[in-house]
Amino acid sequence: MDEQRRLRVRARFTALYAALFLASGAGLLALTFLFAGTEVSHVAPVGLPRPEVVPGLQEQLDGADAARTRQLVVSALIALVVMAVLSVVMGKAVAGRVLRPLRTITAATRRITAENLHERLAAPGPDDEVKDLADTIDGLLERLETSFSAQRRFIANTSHELRTPLATMRASLDVAVAKPSAETQTVALADRLRPELDRVDDLLEGLLVLARAQHGVLADRVEVSLAALVSEALGARAEALAGKGITVDDSAVTGRAWTVGSPALLTRMVENVIDNAVVHNHQGGWIRVTAGDEPRLVVETGGDVLDQEHVAGLAQPFRRLAADRTGSDTGTGLGLSIVAAIAGAHGGRLDLHARPEGGLRVTLSLPSTS
């Protein structure tokens, strides 16, 4: 679509310039033809011919004039055709030259994403409208970079600061329950508060991971096996899988899928995908995991038929399908958004698709080690 749009714009400029060049050439030829056809009104006397010769001379003059006119018309038509071809060629060249700075700005802008907002166009050249456009885009990128950095710092700092009072509250509960004189109501209250504190702690941990992934902090880049991460995640959740009677088909998981990245973040990414498949699954459901030769992980689950428009939004923070998914009231709402952020930080992509027969297909595509 973008390529077609670029061709349409260049075609319009080419047609415009070609029409201008052709009109100029046609006007020039018309003036030449007009001036060439002007008759000489006065000729110096050189002697009168005999009367019987005058009709023959007049016929010869008329024939020569007609031949000259035909030759002039043919030459004008040939010149007009040549001018038409040259007009198209020159119009295309001029259109390309005019649009070249805009193509450069467009290509540079597309390379800049949330992970490299520090880059600038820094367009060279004279201080004209094109440079003003590039400088305006640079100013916008600078404001976006400042906004993104402030947002990430706020999330990270807030998550760190809130952990201290949470730890204090948890310690106070433990001390109150450990007292010999602790009342039954105190113990019951502590039992109700601990899960909520754990949930808030998980939320803060998720925010920290999300901020780190969005910031692209990947200092510990090594080769990682997706198959090994999947096996570890499934093994750690064997009890939860057995508790819900979920059947796991991991026969398509091999040891040939490798990628490069942060082991901690990639582990969290795979764990979140598996957790999503376990938590939002029916009792007695199934999970099918595929990780072949390419660094591409596919996790499918059965269930009700879902709306693709709603499914596409699950990668946004705190987005759920509510009643469309089993157990949608559990979790922090950050699982798949963390997966998308980690995949993006590694140069990969998360795709979510509602299966036509029901359930969800989660696809993670990551760069290979080669």
The pLDDT value recorded for residue 324 is 44
Let me know if residue 54 belongs to a domain. no
- In a shared domain, residues 90 and 165: no
- In a shared domain, residues 266 and 321: yes
Q: Are 260 and 233 in contact (CB under 8 A)?
A: no
- In a shared domain, residues 327 and 240: yes
Is 167 or 297 the better-scoring residue by pLDDT?
A: 297
* 316-339 residue pLDDT tens: 776 666 544 444 445 667 788 888
pLDDT surpasses 50 at 39: no
- In a shared domain, residues 207 and 233: no
- In a shared domain, residues 159 and 186: yes
- In a shared domain, residues 207 and 234: no
Let me know if residue 300 belongs to a domain. yes
Domain count, the chain: 3
Let me know if residue 139 belongs to a domain. no
Let me know if residue 258 belongs to a domain. yes
Q: What share of the chain has pLDDT > 90, as a percent?
A: 16
- In a shared domain, residues 210 and 238: no
- In a shared domain, residues 344 and 255: yes
Label residue 337 exposed, middle or buried (CB < 10 Å: 0-12, 13-18, 19+). buried
Neighbours of 368 (CB within 10 A): 12
Q: In what order do the strands lie in the sheet with 286-291?
A: 247-253, 286-291, 296-301, 360-365, 349-354
pLDDT surpasses 80 at 56: no
Let me know if residue 89 belongs to a domain. yes
pLDDT surpasses 90 at 189: no
Let me know if residue 147 belongs to a domain. no
Quote the tokens at residue 198.
Answer: 């754990």
The pLDDT value recorded for residue 301 is 93
**Which range is most confident: 93-107, 158-172, 293-307?**
293-307
The mean pLDDT value of the chain amounts to 78
Let me know if residue 186 belongs to a domain. yes
Euclidean distance between the first and the last CA atom of the chain, given in angstroms as a whole number: 31
- In angstroms, rounded to a whole number, what is the distance separating the alpha carbons of residues 362 and 280? 13
- In angstroms, rounded to a whole number, what is the distance separating the alpha carbons of residues 274 and 336? 10
CA pseudo-torsion sign 141, 144, 150, 153? negative
- C-alpha Rg value of the chain to the nearest Å: 38
- In a shared domain, residues 298 and 320: yes
| Domain-ending residue, one of 188, 215, 242 | 215
- In angstroms, rounded to a whole number, what is the distance separating the alpha carbons of residues 259 and 365? 10
Beta bridge partners of 225: 258
| Range in 43-47, 118-122, 211-215, 257-261 with the lowest mean pLDDT | 43-47
The pLDDT value recorded for residue 323 is 44
- In a shared domain, residues 85 and 200: no
In residues, how long is the chain?
370
- In a shared domain, residues 238 and 329: yes
| Domain-ending residue, one of 80, 111, 142 | 111
Label residue 289 exposed, middle or buried (CB < 10 Å: 0-12, 13-18, 19+). buried
The pLDDT value recorded for residue 278 is 92
- In a shared domain, residues 353 and 242: yes
User: 249 by DSSP, 3-state: which?
Assistant: strand
- In angstroms, rounded to a whole number, what is the distance separating the alpha carbons of residues 333 and 272? 11
Any idea what the Cα angle at residue 290 is, between residues 289 and 292, rounded to 5°? Answer: 155
Let me know if residue 51 belongs to a domain. no
pTM (2 decimals)? 0.55
User: 54 by DSSP, 3-state: which?
Assistant: helix
CATH of residue 247: 3.30.565.10
CATH of residue 159: 1.10.287
Task: Mark residue 331 as left, alpha or beta (left: phi above 0; alpha: psi -120 to 50; beta: remaining).
Answer: left
* 232-245 residue pLDDT tens: 999 999 999 999 99
- Helices 184-215, 335-345: axis angle to 10 degrees equals 30
| Domain-ending residue, one of 195, 215, 235 | 215
Q: Could you tell me the residue range of the domain that residue 102 belongs to?
A: 2-36+60-111
